[in-house]
Amino acid sequence: MNSIVLDASVAAKWFLPAHDEPLASEARHLFSRFSAEQVELLVPDIFWAELGNVLWKAIRQGRCTKSKAQAALGLLADLELAAVPSMDLLELGFEIALSFGRSVYDGLYVSLAVASKATLVTADERMANALAAHFPVRWLGAVDLA
């Protein structure tokens, strides 16, 4: 089974209104593949804080209700995604951040992809463009999820 490092930017699209979310169908297709046990999803433990922040922001922007965001967090918690401690990823994540001008948060996701020999799938096109030539990082809009 293939492993994919799941970026919070992709997971949020599972719950936010599809008409407001570019690449929502691609994100939902990835979720379908996970549900069918065709792929394994891995996350760094900061995933939860990042996802919470994305949903918090969506509430503030009127794109999501508090109850829907809370339900989304509960549903995701029930999935029991394999979460890796950030401390285990920090050394390489920090080096990636310094070398490529990305945040340490981004570096942790990439570090997990490298350590697990998986591909990081992100909806952040700028991040994918900056790192894909050097690391297993793919933009959700360009990845073949078939």
pLDDT tens figures, 42-99: 999 999 999 999 999 999 999 999 999 999 999 999 998 999 999 999 999 999 999 9
pLDDT beyond 70 at 130: yes
Residue type at position 68 = K
* Separation of alpha carbons 99 and 84, rounded Å: 23
Q: How far apart are the first and last CA of the chain?
A: 13
Q: Which domains does the chain have, with CATH numbers?
A: 2-142 (3.40.50.1010)
List alpha helices for the chain, DSSP H.
8-11, 24-35, 47-60, 66-79, 86-100, 104-116, 125-131
Percentage of the residues of the chain whose pLDDT score is greater than 70:
99
Q: Which residue carries 């340490």 as its tokens?
A: 104
